[in-house]
């Protein structure tokens, strides 16, 4: 049955119960001439691990635009980048809705069956997927909506068409429920205008009879924090409108929730208390091991040590349970330090950025390179320049014909960057997503009139907190190191949020530990003047506008700090001009193009062979483009062509520009541990009662453990039947190992 919903400048028609009836949930969505099928399927058996085993596949069908796939294999094969990135958007938007402890393998499949070139496929795909999930028997009782916000002529546009988006200055994609935002992605779109200019003002070598010519002019469209907040406000209103409409129609169609089992977190208050009593300092020391591999090894060592304690042996504690408790205790310590003490595990203040060092052009045969190190995150970013033939070709359903991309950012994350011995695999969704974020951040500052195809490769050599932001910083300087003219430098910073009750803390330049144990992952990139790219994933409920504003302005402060260091490094860049491929673009009298070509192409072939260059000619504009690996040869070819056309040479381009910056941390102190003699009888006070015994405060302010087996000569079922809080007791020192003291009750 069809249900029509008029919402956010478009009519959405949902056909429910018509197709894919054996799926757990299915929806057929039509917007204009776009038709999308979204299905949800669920296995009946849970996985062993405690996580949401969700897989999302967004697949575009070639028949959706009346096309047979190209190549030797005439069927859809490996997903393209757009399909992978769209799958990632759907996953990030819907994953937070699943109930806690849900562990049933679940697959969301989205097929594009028909494609209207003016319909936003990412908005439509998420809305269809959300409808299928909401209608299914999976206990998800909130609808999600995706909305895109554009900006043109001072006005925000809700769900612009694809053509309107091309002319927009802003591309903001937001997903959320009626009450809260779940995911945000933003990029600034540079404005490109064609303006009339006097011909000789552009090129003094042009034919004087030409009165004017045309020039493409690019403007960077950074958005300040207030503008971003207004755009997000616009998106939130649109999402509330859409999800209210969806739930109003779909609520009566939703399948009855399946009766499912949910995995419970492995918890034990008793073990938690034991860890707090005897291993607090060791956990703190493990937290201070900033590298992920070192921290994991230290926590694992603590778990093994606990399991060897007499209490653990007597209680037969399970390793998985102890490990879970230690991880929970570690998270508690990290969050308490941030919320209560306003200090972080590595001693930094909340708004403090880790020490940064920058080295440029450290690879002698690469066109441009930058080693950017921030704390224990390190990215080696390499720029390679090519010509038009090196551009990446790709297809989009909404575009006619193949497209070319002459600015590419490839992000690689080998296992050794986090101390893991994992096989090297092709880039996954995370790698593609990080590379796409870096590209969106840097693209607005690259001159649209550039001659080169540019490929940036980011090799992550060490990772402990937002390597994608290190990619952006290193990428901006790698471009400059390759002699690429960029209007401004771009820096990126990863922010975090921690909430506890009515208190919160905003963290600048988060490390991996804070990302894992925090409540929000928030990445901001931009220039001194504004934001060029933004990405946010919210792990908990809604975030207030005031907190979001605080986070954005704190991110600006951190971004400016990083830019100051980058600007100093930029001054000392020395461009490897000797190895850079040379490109020259100049104009001649259009009537002289035939002289350059020569009879049957003889002249141009001789030039290409003699100077080892490639030459592209535009007969109408009189434009000549020469490209080659050797600068001297390219310039000689240019001079030769100018002599042929009797025009003098002109032009030139150059560049020039490392410096380290460091900042310190802090230290902790612990009080001395009193020493007791074995079998010594001392007075104590019962401070805590747990199911395996009691903690007794001893002289010197240290606690000892009175195990349940040492309270009486027979089995004690309930400790509180024999002891009570603040009761004074005499105890015998049975064993002391550092701050761990085992006691016996003296009768």
Average pLDDT over residues 195-219: 47
Q: How confident is the model at residue 449, as a pLDDT?
A: 67
Predicted confidence band at 541 (pLDDT cuts at 50, 70, 90)?
low
Kindly write down the DSSP assignment for every residue of 544-611, as one continuous string: -HHHHHHHHHHHHHHHHHHHHHHHHHHHT----TTTSPEEEEEE--GGGHHHHH-GGGHHHHHHHHHH
Nearest CA among 402, 407, 409, 413 for reference residue 391: 407
Q: Does the pLDDT at position 497 exceed 70?
A: yes
Q: Does the pLDDT at position 192 exceed 90?
A: no
Kindly write down the DSSP assignment for every residue of 452-496, as one continuous string: -EEEEEEEEEE-SS-HHHHHHHHHHHHHHHTT--BSS--EEEEEE
CA 24/CA 20 separation, integer angstroms: 9
Predicted confidence band at 217 (pLDDT cuts at 50, 70, 90)?
low
Q: Does the pLDDT at position 641 exceed 50?
A: yes
Q: Does the pLDDT at position 323 exceed 70?
A: yes
CA 344/CA 352 separation, integer angstroms: 10
Tokens of 98: 């699943």
**What residues are paired with 384 via a beta bridge?**
455
Q: Does the pLDDT at position 587 exceed 80?
A: yes
Q: How confident is the model at residue 195, as a pLDDT?
A: 47
Average pLDDT over residues 186-204: 60
Q: Does the pLDDT at position 669 exceed 50?
A: no
**What residues are paired with 411 via a beta bridge?**
458
Q: Record the pTM.
A: 0.81
Q: Give the position of tokens 């950012």.
A: 409
Predicted confidence band at 290 (pLDDT cuts at 50, 70, 90)?
low
Q: Give the position of tokens 């669920």.
A: 42
- Label residues 704-736 b or e (16+ Cβ within 10 Å = b): bbbbbebbeeeebeebeebbeeeeebebbbbeb
Coil, helix or strand for 516?
A: helix
Contact predicate 570/489, CB 8 Å: yes
- Label residues 132-150 b or e (16+ Cβ within 10 Å = b): bbbbbbbebebbbbbbbbb
Sheet holding 170-176, edge to edge: 155-158, 145-152, 170-176, 181-188, 531-538, 520-526, 491-500, 503-508
More confident residue, 542 or 523: 523
Q: Give the position of tokens 């999302």.
A: 56
Contact predicate 139/99, CB 8 Å: yes
Q: Does the pLDDT at position 287 exceed 70?
A: yes
Domains of the chain: 2-250 (3.30.230.70), 266-343 (no CATH), 356-574 (3.30.230.70), 582-645 (3.30.1370.10), 671-747 (2.40.50.140)
Q: Does the pLDDT at position 661 exceed 50?
A: no
Average pLDDT, the chain: 87
CA 544/CA 144 separation, integer angstroms: 18
CA 472/CA 492 separation, integer angstroms: 6
Average pLDDT over residues 641-656: 56
Poorest-pLDDT segment among 350-364, 505-519, 650-664? 650-664
Q: How confident is the model at residue 289, as a pLDDT?
A: 65
CA 539/CA 518 separation, integer angstroms: 8
């Amino acid at each position: 049955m069809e249900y029509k919903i008029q919402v956010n400048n478009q009519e959405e028609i949902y056909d429910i119960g018509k197709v894919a009836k054996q799926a757990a949930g299915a929806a057929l969505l039509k917007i204009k001439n776009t038709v999308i099928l979204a299905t949800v399927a669920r296995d009946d058996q849970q996985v062993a691990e405690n996580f949401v085993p969700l897989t999302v596949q967004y697949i575009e069908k070639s028949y959706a635009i009346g096309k047979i796939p190209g190549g030797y294999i005439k069927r859809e094969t490996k997903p393209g980048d757009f399909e992978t990135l769209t799958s990632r958007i759907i996953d990030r938007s819907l994953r937070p809705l699943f109930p806690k402890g849900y562990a049933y393998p679940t697959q969301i499949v989205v097929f594009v069956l028909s494609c209207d070139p003016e319909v936003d496929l990412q908005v439509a795909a998420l809305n269809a997927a959300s409808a299928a999930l909401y209608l299914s028997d999976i206990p998800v009782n909130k609808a999600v909506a995706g909305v895109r916000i554009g900006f043109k002529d001072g006005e925000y546009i809700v769900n612009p068409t694809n053509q309107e988006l091309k002319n927009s200055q802003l591309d903001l994609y937001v997903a959320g429920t009626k009450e809260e935002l779940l995911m945000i992605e933003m990029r600034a779109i540079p404005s490109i205008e064609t303006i009339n200019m006097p011909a000789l003002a552009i090129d003094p070598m042009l034919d004087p009879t030409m009165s004017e010519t045309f020039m493409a002019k690019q403007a960077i469209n950074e958005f300040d924090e207030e503008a971003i907040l207004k755009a997000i406000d616009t998106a939130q209103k649109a999402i509330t409108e859409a999800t209210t409409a969806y739930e109003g129609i779909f609520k009566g169609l939703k399948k009855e929730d399946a009766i499912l089992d949910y995995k419970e977190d492995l918890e034990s208050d008793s073990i938690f208390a034991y860890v707090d009593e005897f291993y607090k300092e060791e956990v703190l020391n493990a937290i201070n091991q900033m590298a992920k591999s070192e921290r994991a090894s230290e926590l694992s060592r603590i778990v093994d040590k606990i399991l060897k304690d007499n209490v653990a042996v007597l209680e037969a504690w399970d390793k998985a349970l102890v490990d879970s408790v230690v991880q929970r205790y570690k998270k508690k310590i990290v969050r308490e330090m941030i919320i209560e003490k306003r200090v972080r595990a590595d001693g930094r203040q909340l708004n403090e950025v880790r020490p940064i060092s920058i080295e440029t052009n450290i690879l002698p045969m690469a066109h441009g390179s930058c080693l950017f190190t921030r704390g224990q995150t390190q990215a080696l970013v390499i720029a390679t320049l090519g010509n038009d033939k090196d551009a990446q070709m790709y297809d989009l359903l909404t575009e006619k014909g193949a497209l070319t991309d002459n600015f590419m950012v490839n992000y690689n994350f080998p296992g050794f960057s986090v101390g893991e011995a994992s096989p090297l695999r092709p880039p996954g969704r995370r790698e593609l997503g990080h590379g796409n974020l870096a590209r969106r951040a840097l693209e607005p500052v690259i001159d649209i009139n550039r001659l080169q195809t540019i490929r940036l490769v980011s090799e992550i050599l060490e990772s402990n907190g937002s390597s994608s932001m290190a990619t952006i910083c290193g990428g901006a300087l790698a471009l400059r190191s390759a002699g690429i003219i960029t209007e401004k430098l771009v820096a990126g910073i990863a922010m975090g949020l921690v909430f506890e009750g009515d208190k919160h803390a905003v963290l600048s330049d988060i490390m991996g530990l804070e990302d894992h144990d925090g409540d929000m992952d928030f990445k901001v990139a931009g220039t001194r003047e504004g934001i060029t790219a933004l990405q946010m994933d919210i792990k908990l409920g809604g975030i207030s506008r005031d907190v979001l504003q605080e986070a954005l302005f704190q991110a600006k402060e951190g971004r400016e700090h990083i830019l100051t260091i980058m600007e100093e490094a930029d001054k000392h860049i020395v461009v490897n001009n000797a190895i850079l491929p040379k490109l020259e673009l100049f104009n001649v009298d259009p009537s002289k193009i035939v002289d350059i070509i020569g009879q049957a192409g003889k002249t141009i072939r001789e030039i290409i062979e003699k100077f080892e260059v490639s030459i592209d000619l535009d007969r109408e504009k009189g434009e000549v483009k020469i490209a080659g690996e050797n600068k001297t040869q390219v310039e000689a070819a240019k001079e030769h062509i100018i002599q042929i056309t009797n025009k003098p040479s002109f032009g030139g381009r150059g560049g020039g520009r490392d410096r380290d910056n460091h900042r310190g941390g802090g230290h902790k102190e612990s009080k001395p541990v009193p020493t007791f003699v074995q079998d010594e009888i001392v007075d104590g006070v019962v401070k805590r009662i747990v199911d395996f015994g009691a903690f007794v405060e001893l002289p010197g302010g240290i606690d000892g453990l009175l195990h349940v087996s040492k309270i009486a000569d027979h089995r004690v079922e309930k400790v509180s039947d024999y002891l009570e809080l603040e009761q004074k007791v005499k105890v015998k020192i049975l064993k002391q190992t550092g701050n761990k003291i085992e006691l016996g009750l003296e009768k």
